[in-house]
Each structure stands twice: as C-alpha cells, then as structure tokens.
Amino acid sequence: MEWENINTYAKQWVKEAGVKIRSSFSTALNISSKSNANDLVTNIDRDVEKFFIEKIRKTFPQHRILGEEGFGDELDHTNGVVWLIDPIDGTLNFIHQQRNFAISVGIYENGIGMIGIIYDVVHNELYCAMKGKGAFINEQHIPSLNETNVHKAIIGINATWATENKRIDYRKIVPLIQNARGTRSYGSAALELVYVATGRIDAYISMRLSPWDFAAGVIIVEELGGVASNILGEKLNILEKSSVFVAKPGLHQEILNQYLLK
Ligand code: IPD
Ligand code: CA
Ligand code: CA
Ligand code: CA
C-alpha cells in the first residue's frame, strides 16, 4: 500500500512539473553554464528540482533525495528510500529544440529500484513502472521485450563513442555500428532508456551517465525483461557515475561478448 501511495504522489508531482515546464515555453529562459560552455542549466531545471524537493520533504520527511542541480542531499549510502531526480534530462534539447527532453524520477529502497517515472512533457507521455507490477505509458500496459540480435537491432549511441575518446577504445564500437541495422541518438538518456523499454530501439549505450540519468529508466527496462549493466556487464550503482548499457535479452549478451568485452 505504501508504494502505491508514493507512486500516486510521484506521478502527480511529475505531471505538475510538466505543466510548469510547458508554460516556460512562452517565457525567456535564464541560461548559464556549469562545468564547461556546453554544460548548460536553466532557471527551469532549478525551479523544477526545488519543486520536487519541497513536495517530497513535506510529504515523506524520512526520504532522501539526490537531484542533478544539487538542492537535495549528499548521498553516501543507499539505506532507506532515496529519490533520484533529473528535473530536465536533455537540457540542450530543451533549450535548442523545446522537445526531446524528459523529467526523470527514480525511487529506490535500500539500493533496489522500486518506482521509475519518465515524463516526455511535450508528447504528454508518462512512462512508469513499479517493481513487479508491470510498466505503462499513460496507463497503457507496455508488453515485455523479446530477444533479438545485432543484425536486426537499432542501437542508441552517441557518435562521440565511435571517435577517439577517453572512455572506451572506439575500435570496439565501430564494428557494432557496422553490423547493426541502424543507430540513433536522441540526446536524452531517460528517453533513450524508455525507447529501449518500448522497443523503439533495441539497445542504448553511454560511456558516462550520472545516477539521476539512469535511475528511473533502468527500472522500467528491467521490469519488461530488458537487461541493464555497465559496459563491463556489472550491476549499476546509484551512488556512482558510470557507463550504462541496456538492451533486449539475448542482444545484451551478444553485444557484451562479441564487442564490448572483446
Ligand atoms: C544529459 C543527457 C544526455 C547524456 C548526458 C546527460 P542533462 O543529461 O541525458 O543524453 O548524453 O550525459 O548529462 O544534463 O541534459 O540532464
Ligand atoms: Ca545537466
Ligand atoms: Ca540528465
Ligand atoms: Ca538534467
């Protein structure tokens, strides 16, 4: 019962946050940069994160919160209930395109993913899963994922990883791209994760994500029988930045054995 209650509140707040984001389209954004000139944040990212934190603190004062914009808690252990919040995932798209971004909220208990919610604000599509209770797009049931192989697969991957970079030997990635049916890159990890969950793409690989980028998406993918790990096939940890590799069953093993670990 308690998780149903948390889920109801979380979805309601995500929808309310979506209304705030949509109404920002007609206002001038206040844009600043963080770690470098291309790492942007807006007043809306910050306002939306603060909105969630205020709601959670009032309703569930025992819960802890990790948010990208830093208004939550410092997290050094996974005990208890933790909310991982990315107020806008795909900020560059939000600024440049006013589409292809999402709100991402993952809720964990003792390190185990319990609720994942990703809201594609512009399309008004709310993806959610509760552990063991199935996954939905706007209350419509999402079917489980079937096995596939590289030759039939569309892989979500950013072009950066197929060029010289410091995170992976790109010569492992090039043959994967050559053998796959196609590749896509959407610029929002949360959306790319739900695209794997819904079968729009078959796998998604990123060499570096933060816990708030993948926390919700991996819960939804796993609920549908997809497999989530880092690029070495190891379990993800919500306390650490890491590579993320998510795929349909069968395909995950094939990409790991034939490409990433080769
Ligand atoms: C970013 C997006 C992007 C991914 C970056 C993330 P943000 O999140 O998910 O797709 O490649 O690594 O930082 O900063 O827009 O929330
Ligand atoms: Ca960001
Ligand atoms: Ca993000
Ligand atoms: Ca963000």
pLDDT at 80: 98
The tokens describing 48, both together, are 């939306």
pLDDT at 1: 66
pLDDT in tens, 44-77: 999 999 999 999 999 999 999 999 999 999 999 9
Based on the domain organization, do 11 and 46 belong to the same domain? Answer: yes
Number of structural domains found in the chain? 2
Based on the domain organization, do 63 and 157 belong to the same domain? Answer: no
Based on the domain organization, do 126 and 155 belong to the same domain? Answer: no
ipTM above 0.95, yes or no: yes
Q: Please choose, from the candidates 216, 217, 210, the residue with its C-alpha nearest in 3D space to the C-alpha of residue 68.
A: 210
pLDDT at 225: 98
Based on the domain organization, do 105 and 217 belong to the same domain? Answer: no
Of 107, 141, 175, the domain-final residue: 141
Tell me how far CA of residue 97 lies from CA of 46, 54, 94, 226, in angstroms: 19, 29, 6, 30
Of 95, 117, 141, the domain-final residue: 141
Is the beta carbon of 49 within 6 A of some atom in ligand 1? no
pLDDT at 87: 98
How crowded is residue 203: how many other Cβ atoms within 10 Å of its Cβ? 26
pLDDT at 112: 98
* Domain of residue 78, CATH code: 3.30.540.10
Cα(68) to centroid(ligand 2), Å? 7
Backbone angles phi, psi at 181, to 5 degrees: -70, -35
Based on the domain organization, do 82 and 170 belong to the same domain? Answer: no
d(CA 101, CA 195): 13
* Domain of residue 176, CATH code: 3.40.190.80
* Ranges under pLDDT 50 in the chain: none
Strand order in the sheet with 102-109: 64-67, 81-89, 102-109, 112-120, 125-130, 135-137, 140-141
Cross-strand pairs, 117: 105, 128
Based on the domain organization, do 78 and 182 belong to the same domain? Answer: no
Based on the domain organization, do 36 and 128 belong to the same domain? Answer: yes
pLDDT at 173: 97
pLDDT in tens, 157-166: 999 999 999 9
Cα(217) to centroid(ligand 4), Å? 14
pLDDT at 244: 98
Q: Please choose, from the candidates 136, 128, 100, 130, the residue with its C-alpha nearest in 3D space to the C-alpha of residue 14.
A: 128
Amino acid at 18: G
Given the CA of residue 208, which atom of ligand 1 is nearest to it?
Answer: 12
Is the beta carbon of 199 within 6 A of some atom in ligand 1? no
Based on the domain organization, do 17 and 62 belong to the same domain? Answer: yes
202 marked as binding residue? no
Using the structure block, give the residue that is written with the tokens 């739900």. Answer: 194
Based on the domain organization, do 13 and 123 belong to the same domain? Answer: yes
Residue range of the domain that includes 70:
2-141
Based on the domain organization, do 228 and 181 belong to the same domain? Answer: yes
Based on the domain organization, do 122 and 226 belong to the same domain? Answer: no
Of 102, 117, 141, the domain-final residue: 141
